[in-house]
Structure 1
Amino acid sequence: MHHPRRRLLARAPACLALAALLALPMAGPAGAQSGSFPSQPLRMIIPFGVGGLADISMRLVAQRLSDRLGQQVIVENKPGAGGVVAANAVLTAPRDGYTLAVFANGTAISKTLFKLPFDAEKDFTPISTAAYFDLVLLTKAQGKYPTLASLLEAGKQRQIVLGTINPGSTQHLSAELFKSMSGIQAMTVPFKSTPEVLTALLRGDIDVMFESYAALKGAIDSGQVTAVAATGHKRSSWLPKVPTVTESGVPGYEVEGWNALFAPAGTPPDRVARLNAAVNQVLQEPDIRKRLESLGTEARGSTPAELGQVLRRDVEKWAGVIRQAGIPVQQN
């Protein structure tokens, strides 16, 4: 006959094991919440239409991010002046790292140019830069200005006409910055679209146009136009023979466009770190770097802090250009 006390002692290990098992589900979700991110598809909201440089380049990044994260990254285009529609879509979603915003250097411009219902610096958390690109200054092939130096020399004698797309765009403000830094006589004329600017250049209505390489690659390759200078801090790999504006006679002039990934403020830091690591891994993949280069962009990641500095720097830079050009604040 077994003693009751001995029976209880014999059962004690089994009871303790059962108690431990019952406790596991209670601890599980808290651990899974931070450790298994992401556990569902993510959304990447782009404030531009389908087919543009930001859309194509960020879709390439999103595709590879899906592989890295083990969850689909769904790209949604929500264009609108100042990026308001896209920003609202991100800010009204849960701040859990599953809804992300694509910002560009235009976001920095918009802060001064538009009355916005959001503050890109305060309402969003930087994740990483993704791609950088410069603009090119183009003249008519076999025209009067085969080099930027010849254009600058002419600008001392008469008014040069600079053509760009719509007021407040990076292209337009780059031309305004060029006008102020070069000290030449110049007038900036904005058009509605890139094809309209190109037509004006070929017709002789303007002397030089400012645009991205991706937008004018066909005209450059076909010999319609000549790329006389690039706006970056160094020569690009896609146009290695084209000097920078600084090299060509305007010291200190530099304009770099960029695309980057942000999350809404309040997103858990460990999730921001996870996304940052994944983006930087994607941007180191040789085929991604090559495909982005073919679009006239350089794959370049960053830390969240570095991206925050880039945004602050460009907000200040373009605010000064907008004020000097006398461009009024636009209503959305």
Structure 2
Amino acid sequence: MRSSIAPSRRAMCRLLGGLLVMACVASPPHAAPSYPGDRPIRFIVPFGVGGLADISLRLVAQKMSEHFGEKIIVENRPGAGGIVAASAVLNAPPDGYTLAVFANGTAISKSLFKLPFDPEKDFAPISTVAYFDLLLLTNPKGKIGSVADLLAEGKRRQLILGTINPGSTQNLSAELFRSTAGLNAIIVPFRTTADVMSALVRGDIDVAFESYAALKGPIDAGTVQPIAATGDKRSSWLPQVPTVKESGLPDYDVTGWNALFAPAGTPPEVIQLLNRQLAEVLQLPDLRQRFENLGTEARSSTPEEMGAILHRDVGKWAAVIKQAGIQPQ
């Protein structure tokens, strides 16, 4: 009797042992949750609430949450040439949960400020998010209605170009225009975009350099007149406005961008996942239309392409800053 029962017990033990092994293989009790799991992802924006980068990234965060179920928090850390925002990201673990929003101003900052970090070495690119250009704007009641008019007027007298603060993309775009065109002009910086627009309407300056997003109301109302765009092609939001290249200065090109970066050392698989998700949401028709209404184009890239863009712009703006005689702060 005992011998007939024993094999059944041994068989049962083998069966239970096999099932236990299979269960352990199928569901490791201590397996780490997949990224991002239930933890929120933070986008750290180096600008205040309501700006172009802030609005763009909030739209992206919303779409990523809707499509992938991720919780994304947008935090604004303006100030000190992007140092505050970048430091917040670098002080967090490189695990993909704290990401930096860079802009073309980040490339400018490398030469303009004595940064406690290197944006090219201390961060890993994920993807571009948006592209936009600037506009050359004049008073519609004045004599300058085109770049050709501007260059001709510059041969007769010294022109005054207005921008926001020194070292801004707008300010350096004016510096680059002056040197590329060999223009007889001085550049006057103002504290705010509203101050620039008021000076243009009063006739205190001849040309202003600013984005469509910043002056959409006055542009659409005809209070100020865009005569050229700084990008390499006409924009879909102002297709009637020619580029500076088209207007006789083929070597002039200023394209602004916003992008997402991670701290260096972030796992490559996390960067690739975020890159794929960004590429997907940036193709959504409703998001692309929202971007276009803001005067910007939704456009993704590979991490390698974004790294090349940053490197190119660091060199480009370093040369402009040097030629303009602007000292690092």
- TM-score interval, normalised by the smaller of the two chains: over 0.9
Alignment partner, residue 234 of structure 2: 235
Q: Tell me, what secondary structure is at the counterpart of 2:214?
A: helix
Equivalent AA in structure 2 for residue 157 of structure 1: R
Name the CA shift for 1:22/1:248 in 2 (closer, same or farther; >3 Å).
closer
Do structure 1's residue 55 and structure 2's residue 45 form an aligned pair? no
Number of residue pairs the alignment of both structures matches:
327
Tell me the residue number matched to 1:15: 17
- List gaps (5 residues or longer) in structure 1: none
Tell me the CA shift for residue 252 of structure 1: 1.4
2:36/2:97 contact within 8 Å kept: no
Question: What's the counterpart of residue 90 of structure 1?
Answer: 89
Partner of 1:179: 178
Partner of 2:319: 320
Which residue is equivalent to 1:266?
265
Separation of aligned partners in 2, 1:306 and 1:192: 34
State how far apart, in whole Å, the 1-side matches of 2:224 and 2:8 are. Answer: 96
Could you tell me whether the CA contact under 8 Å between 1:162 and 1:189 is conserved in 2? yes
Deviates more, 1:217-226 or 1:296-305: 217-226
Q: Write the distance in 2 (CA, Å) between the matches of 1:262 and 1:68.
A: 21
Report 1:184-263 matches (<5 A): 184-263=183-262
**Residues 40-79 of structure 1 deviation map (CA, whole Å, 9 limit, x = unaligned):** 2111100000011111111111111112331211000000
Q: Measure, in 2, the Cα distance between the counterparts of 1:313 and 1:11.
A: 67
CA–CA distance in 2 between the matches of 1:236 and 1:173?
Answer: 21
Residue ranges of structure 2 left out of the alignment (5+ in a row): none
Structure-1 residue corresponding to 2:275: 276
Q: 1:7 is aligned with what amino acid?
A: R
**AA aligned opposite 2:202:** R
Q: Secondary structure at the match of 1:172?
A: helix
Classify 1:38/1:7 alpha carbon distance in 2 versus 1 (closer, same or farther; 3 Å). Answer: closer
1:13 Cα offset (Å): 1.7
Please report the TM-score for the alignment, with normalisation by the length of structure 2: 0.96
In the TM superposition, what is the alpha-carbon distance from 1:39 to its structure 2 partner? 3.2
Q: TM-score, normalised by structure 1?
A: 0.95
> How much does 1:148 deviate?
1.4
Partner amino acid, structure 2, of 1:147: S
- What is the Cα-based RMSD across aligned positions, in Å? 1.4
1:93-112 alignment, distance < 5 Å: 93-112=92-111
Q: One-letter code of the match for 1:13?
A: L
Alignment partner, residue 66 of structure 1? 65
2:36–2:70 Cα contact (<8 Å) kept? no
